[in-house]
A and B are shown apart, each in its own frame.
Chain A
Amino acid sequence: MDSMKLSKDKLNSFVAILAEQKQLYMPQAEGETLKYSPVNAKVQPDLVFSNTAVPAKSVVFPQVETLFRYEVEKTDIKMPAGEEERVLLGVRPCDARAMSIVDNLFSWDVDDPYYLGKREKTIVVGLACQKPGVNCFCSSVGGGPASTEGLDVLLTDLGESFLVKPLTEKGEKLCQAAGEIFEEASSDDLNSAEKLHQEAAALISRSIETGGIPEKLPGLWESGIWKEVSNACLGCGICTFLCPTCHCFDIQDEIEGFEGRRCRMWDSCMFGEYTLHTSGHNPRPTRRERTRNRINHKYNYFVQKFDVIACVGCGRCISSCPVNIDIIEILQQVKEAQ
């Protein structure tokens, strides 16, 4: 299917069409925090922002998710209702790419029915990034401001209109359903979109050459850099909770009256409690080991298993870190270390 054009004054009707067909998720401000929330057809779309504070992973991998329910002292297990069809609108290419990276993990060996169930029923409509943030480094880890990986449709803001490019079958179907409001895109439109993508890529000011890092990390296991880079770490969960590729979780039981549920929630490898054994022994006793694990997981273990770096360069962990622990800087030190 060819690319089309959506005039900006028809954005509202596009949103309304999407919201009628499926549950629409869009970046919404909760207080001062931008995150993807369910919206109805009447929402006023606002897609002008650098990126959301909480990544789009929260739609397919919510912070808390019921695995099943039961009644206390009984043995029947009740499954949660099936997943609804969803559309995500306005996803930045880095967040979408993160989803396709995390897909590897959740479909590895054993399929994860909750994640994959949501993922299959979700159509991701992305918006090419035109104003990369100061800490964006997506082009260093295999992405880019107009990367299409993980997206079903890519929008590009041409000023007066959006260029709409369906990328997958799911995306095509979605566009066909909204067919009438689109105009034909001219070759000029395609060219100017291409130009905008290149301009955005040129605006990315931070970079790191990641080649060789996965191979080098195992040799730096006992290196002094881990102590060095983790000294200031507070051991909080900001970098992992806000990371679009971090996927580790905890499973807990909760009881309310006579009803109970088993649910899973985001967990962070930066918490001491994460690996703590019941005996009191902790295989990762300090922030040094935890930081080392975090970097290794993203840039070494994940690469060994799935042949892709589990980092999309969205820069959230850098911008949100309260003590300026900077993953680019850590990688730089890894490269320089002997």
Chain B
Amino acid sequence: MVDLEKMRTIAKETVSRDDVRYLIGWRQGTYGFRVSPHFMKGPEEAEKLIFSPLCSNNLATYLTLTEKLPVPRGEQPDSRKIAVMVKGCDSRAVVQQLIEKGIERERVFVIGCPCEGVLDLKKVEEKFPGILSPVEVEWSGDKIIFTLPDGVKEVPKGEVLAKKCLSCRYPNPVMSDITLWDEVKSLGDGNYEDVKEMEEKNPQEKWSFWKDKFSSCIRCYSCRNVCPMCYCEDCVLDRLNPQWINRSANISENSAFQLARAFHLAGRCIECGECERVCPVDIPLMALNRKLAKEVREQYEFEPGLDPESKPFQSSYRPNDKEDFIL
């Protein structure tokens, strides 16, 4: 069960430690069902922290997103830890960053929050439109309880939960320095029914589906920036020399961008679904990521973001990897 009191107490303790720079958690957003990442600097901010089915942001992103400015001459780099609150999926992002040496273990303090699934805001805001005042939302068994301005509403989980959560196998952090409450049962079996359905279509059907989706891309790169695994300092999309993908937004360049983005996550995507959540034009990005995740899992029995000691998928191999497609 979510215990906000305990969460705030631990947050206070953590952020007061000498070796912790700040803590990244969630806070109530500015309106309606929105939640915002909160960067907590001192214990007095503990009351702002929340944990609810609205906390979909994957905070592990900020571990690699924060710009590293050059340290002024004569000063020491700040080597204190960054404390971060993680759900099950987010913890896999942290592990994968550790596998890739994107972050150092001794620079992070991981606070685990077992999670019973987060909401799909699009579904929620469609169900309860036009709500401005902040709403409290809680888990209650297989229901979600909304405390709306005009009363309390119970909604079955299946109606409002994010798609990724309905088949989630890792609701509990796979790695943490401290776990805030009891582990929860996993919601799904991690099936790939949706992927299989797409696989069965013929090339024309597949392309007409993706053509539609790719052509609406406006290249805001939100999917790239929100991804905890997208942290190359020099991204191929920003490079001019060589310029593999033109800046123009059209079906050709957008497809190239989306394929490159998805492929870059092959064997790395931990299926937190953030890319799909943030997309302002509703491209089903997870369908691409999940296709690759499925192949990696089924053909190579590999899952990213579970064992910090494992080797990255694409920089390892087995001599007997499948090669039936090779001529």
Q: Check if A232 is an interface residue, CB within 8 A of chain B.
A: yes
CB contacts (< 8 Å) of B35 on chain A: these are: 324
Q: Contact between B37 and A30 (Cβ–Cβ < 8 Å)?
A: no
Interface readout for B229-251 with A: 1 if CB under 8 Å, 0 if not?
A: 00000000010000000111110
Q: Report the stretch among A12-20, A90-98, A112-120, A234-242 that lies at the interface.
A: A234-242
Distance from B242 Cβ to chain A, minimum over Cβ atoms (Å): 13
Q: Check if A286 is an interface residue, CB within 8 A of chain B.
A: yes
| Residue among A206, A234, A323 having the largest count of chain B Cβ atoms under 10 Å | A234
Which residue of B36, B213, B215 is within 8 Å of A323 (Cβ)?
Answer: B36
Distance from A151 Cβ to chain B, minimum over Cβ atoms (Å): 25
Q: Offer 30 A-B interface pairs, CB within 8 angstroms, sorted by A.
A: A32-B281, A33-B282, A53-B280, A63-B219, A64-B248, A64-B250, A232-B37, A232-B38, A232-B39, A234-B65, A234-B226, A235-B225, A236-B222, A238-B220, A238-B222, A241-B218, A241-B280, A265-B247, A271-B221, A273-B238, A285-B67, A286-B67, A320-B280, A322-B226, A322-B278, A324-B30, A324-B34, A325-B36, A326-B31, A328-B30
| Number of interchain pairs (Cβ within 8 Å) | 121
Q: Check if B132 is an interface residue, CB within 8 A of chain A.
A: yes
Residues facing B in A209-264 (CB within 8 A) are: 231-232, 234-238, 241-242, 250, 252, 254, 263
Interface size on A, residues (CB 8 A): 45
Q: Which residue of A lies closest to B214 (CB)?
A: A31
Q: Check if A329 is an interface residue, CB within 8 A of chain B.
A: yes
Distance from A331 Cβ to chain B, minimum over Cβ atoms (Å): 12
Q: A234-B225, A237-B219 are in contact. Are A134 and B282 (CB under 8 A)?
A: no
Residues facing A in B265-281 (CB within 8 A) are: 274, 277-278, 280-281
B binding-site residues for A, Cβ under 8 Å: 29-32, 34-39, 57, 61-62, 65, 67, 69, 130-132, 212-213, 215-216, 218-222, 224-226, 238, 246-250, 274, 277-278, 280-283
Not counting A31-B216, A271-B221, A322-B222, a sample of 7 additional A-B residue pairs whose C-beta atoms are within 8 angstroms of each other reads A32-B281, A234-B226, A237-B220, A237-B222, A241-B219, A254-B246, A323-B36
Q: Check if A51 is an interface residue, CB within 8 A of chain B.
A: no
Q: Contact between B36 and A134 (Cβ–Cβ < 8 Å)?
A: no
Q: Which residue of A lies closest to B277 (CB)?
A: A322
Q: Contact between B37 and A268 (Cβ–Cβ < 8 Å)?
A: no
Q: Which residue of B lies closest to A322 (CB)?
A: B278
Residues facing B in A281-338 (CB within 8 A) are: 285-287, 318, 320, 322-326, 328-329
CB contacts (< 8 Å) of A232 on chain B: these are: 36-39, 62
Determine the main DSSP class of A at the interface with B: loop
CB contacts (< 8 Å) of B216 on chain A: these are: 30-31, 33, 35
CB contacts (< 8 Å) of A263 on chain B: these are: 248
Q: Contact between A236 and B32 (Cβ–Cβ < 8 Å)?
A: no
Q: Contact between A237 and B281 (Cβ–Cβ < 8 Å)?
A: no
CB contacts (< 8 Å) of A186 on chain B: these are: none
Q: Contact between B220 and A241 (Cβ–Cβ < 8 Å)?
A: yes
Q: Check if A104 is an interface residue, CB within 8 A of chain B.
A: no
Q: Contact between B65 and A324 (Cβ–Cβ < 8 Å)?
A: no
Q: A31-B216, A268-B220 are in contact. Are A252 and B247 (CB under 8 A)?
A: yes
Q: A35 vs B215: C-alpha distance in the bound complex, in angstroms?
A: 12
Q: Check if A176 is an interface residue, CB within 8 A of chain B.
A: no
CB contacts (< 8 Å) of A178 on chain B: these are: none
